[in-house]
Structure 1
Amino acid sequence: MNRIDSPFRYARPVAAVLALFVVLLLPMAAATAQTTTATRSVEVPLRGGQLTDDDVRLLENETPALSLPAAVDRVVYLVFGSNESNLNDSLRHYAERDDRSLLSGSEDKFAPGSLIVAVGMDPRRVGVACGDDVCNAINFYGSGRMDGILDEMRVPLRQSGDPNIAAALLAGARAAGDTTVVAEGDSDVLGWWILGGISGVAAVVTAGSLVWGQRHQRRRVRERYNHVVGNYSRVASQLDSIDVRAHSLSSPLADDALRRDWEDVRTRFLATDSTVQRLSGIGDEVGDRELAGHRKEITEAYEAVRQMENAEHNIDEFFRMEHGDDTVRRRRLTELHEDLVEARTTVSDDGLRDDLDGIDARVVALRETPDAPDFMDAYARIITDYRIIIEAVRNREFDDVEPDDDNPTPRLWDDSWRPGYGYYGFVPFVTVNSWHESATSSASGSSGATTGYSSGGFSGGSASGGW
């Protein structure tokens, strides 16, 4: 046989097989999707500091083309910059506090017609919620469905160490509409010929996803470059004043660990100066593709600038707290109160629950007197006593977790850091609980979707888990 012709000798049989797959699979897909041509709204009201304008346009343009049941008339995408360990609670609270149109008439479930897809950044969570009619239409409560949807969202969040938030949101909505998406081990055996056809289609989709992923990554590099160029000089010019403020902190919470954190982030920021000077101007001369060749340098500079910005904000908050700012003091105590409430609802040991009640009573009382002359001393004593109780909780009920590289404690340069974090090793309950959930999920070999809420009175369909 002619060598030139040999690569094509299987073309006709392969084409025939693929055509057969299309004929057989398309009716199945149409029946499964239950699509509708009716207009449905696509909303992105909460970006969490993560989504760009291009990301929002992508979601708005791609979502209408998804195969979703006719029951879905509203798709809402949410990204939380800071969220509760149980993301279901954050979804509920967002609906109750920020958009009551997401609630049903009785306000104890999510509104009919609604599909909500969410990503939480701190701690890292993914979640999906729906009105009763939508939950039924997508077989939300079917075997493996919740875990399957969340698993689809995790893929773009875990790839290459650069979470693709927009892709994760879109993957969640797409998986919600595809009732064949279930957690591994729960899918029905459809036959190798169907799986082969799906694999062929998946290969095409994957190729397209890789191209889109490359473009998204290049845009992300450009955005990070612009952030460095736009913010490095400002932060650098303020560095001396930030340093003075950091060293002026004088309450008991301003311990050696805090000062080591400050010196650490300051040193790393200063070390990026030569890199930033070298990068300056590059982005104005080259396209996104060429700029992506400097990805490692740009990412390192971006992280140094963002961490210094976080440290600047955290030091300012701490300074204001020390100097009697009522708003900051009440805000921090309210966050501590919410953490204690979550601990109280999660812990099963009655003695520990009583101890938590006692700490919470002190927090609420101090919140009523933010101008107390010994406020910072009282706050430090609360943190010290709460740390002891959390250690007891960890030893008795969460003995599968330890602070280490896999379970990092919030540091001064993290946006999740608060005054008191790290004081004699203090971490809030929500952090310890997230460590425990991750350990439990890893040990079970599954995503372990959470479906409930920390407090009663609400029964909206939702599922969430870590990523």
Structure 2
Amino acid sequence: MPDWLLYILIAVAVVVAVAAMVAVAFWFDAWSDARDDRDDGDSPRTRFRRVVDRYSAMAQQLDSLDDRAHSPASPAVEAELRRRWQECRDAFLEVDRIVQATGLTPDSPGREFRRHAGEIRTADDAAARMQQASDAVDRLLALERDDPAGRHDRLTDLIGDINEAEADHWDSEWAYPQLQHLEEQVRQLREEVSGTPDTAGLLDRVVTVTRDLDDITTRAGQAAA
């Protein structure tokens, strides 16, 4: 076989091999993206979308949340409102920093999301803390200002939050029993609320429960990561 023909055959083989590798890479990206679109919420792409949605919504609410958190309040909730505002602001800034550092957009290739999976998970956790803190501000203000029927509804919402945490951590030997105990406390509060003249006492107990809830879910999430 002439040398020139051998060189041509080798060159063709190399081109075919490279083309096959490129095709496999594109196929893998397409397959991964399709899998992400139908996953259970844990893929980097889905997490990133959730982060962006929460971040965008909070960006529009941050100033009004600041005003609400620093509005006149009773001593029972004033310090907690300020603390929650700081938590929300700090988490918002953390999400902003991470998103900017990755350079990702919702339309980025799947391989880029997978490359930044660790940062996205951190941003997702921060966005969840941000939302928890914002919800806590609104709940505390509503509990302070509502009538008994409104307080009953707010406590029902809090029970719903605890139920979601129970569903997320049902397999945790230590977190699940503690969450059940918190649920019992809030159910007891809800039974008492219509006849409770001690608003400060009620709010103090709600503050304790919400702090415990955040602490349990944070530690359980870290243990599962």
Range class of TM-score, shorter chain: 0.5 to 0.7
In structure 2, the residue matched to 1:235 is 58
Deviates more, 1:251-260 or 1:313-322: 251-260
Q: How far, CA to CA, are the matches of 1:231 and 1:323 in structure 2?
A: 27
Q: Match for 1:367 among 183, 191, 194?
A: 194
Q: Deviations over 1:399-444 (max 9, x none)?
A: xxxxxxxxxxxxxxxxxxxx32269xx859xx7xxxxxxxxxxxxx
Q: How far, CA to CA, are the matches of 1:341 and 1:226 in structure 2?
A: 31
Q: Which ranges in structure 1 are unaligned for 5 or more consecutive residues?
A: 1-51, 56-165, 167-215, 344-359, 370-374, 388-418, 432-467
Q: How far, CA to CA, are the matches of 1:269 and 1:331 in structure 2?
A: 28
Aligned counterparts, 1:27-46, within 5 A:
none
In structure 1, the residue matched to 2:119 is 297
Give yes or no for contact 2:152–2:194 (8 Å, CA) kept in 1: yes
Q: Match for 2:138 among 304, 316, 337?
A: 316
Give yes or no for contact 1:317–1:328 (8 Å, CA) kept in 2: no
Shift of 1:382: 4.8
Q: Match for 1:247 among 66, 70, 77?
A: 70
Q: How far, CA to CA, are the matches of 2:203 and 2:140 in structure 1?
A: 15
In structure 2, the residue matched to 1:150 is none
Q: Which ranges in structure 2 are unaligned for 5 or more consecutive residues?
A: 1-35, 160-179, 217-225
Q: Deviations over 1:280-339 (max 9, x none)?
A: 54441312x331110122122222222212222221122222222554401356679x96
Give yes or no for contact 1:275–1:301 (8 Å, CA) kept in 2: yes
Task: Flag the structure with higher strand content.
Answer: 1
Give yes or no for contact 1:282–1:291 (8 Å, CA) kept in 2: no
CA distance 1:233–1:325, change in 2 (3 Å): farther
Shift of 1:225: 0.7
SS of 2:208's equivalent? Answer: coil
- The residue type paired with residue 269 of structure 1 is F
Q: How far, CA to CA, are the matches of 2:123 and 2:132 in structure 1?
A: 14
In structure 2, the residue matched to 1:379 is 199
Compute the TM-score of the two structures, normalised by the length of structure 2. 0.53
In structure 2, the residue matched to 1:221 is 44
In structure 1, the residue matched to 2:38 is 54
Task: Flag the structure with higher helix content.
Answer: 2
Q: Deviations over 1:164-189 (max 9, x none)?
A: xx7xxxxxxxxxxxxxxxxxxxxxxx
- The residue type paired with residue 38 of structure 2 is D
- The residue type paired with residue 296 of structure 1 is G
CA distance 1:340–1:278, change in 2 (3 Å): closer
**RMSD (Å) for aligned C-alpha atoms:** 4.0
SS of 2:76's equivalent? Answer: coil
* Aligned-residue identity in percent: 34
Give yes or no for contact 1:333–1:367 (8 Å, CA) kept in 2: no
Shift of 1:379: 3.3
CA distance 1:223–1:333, change in 2 (3 Å): closer
How many residue pairs get aligned? The number is: 158
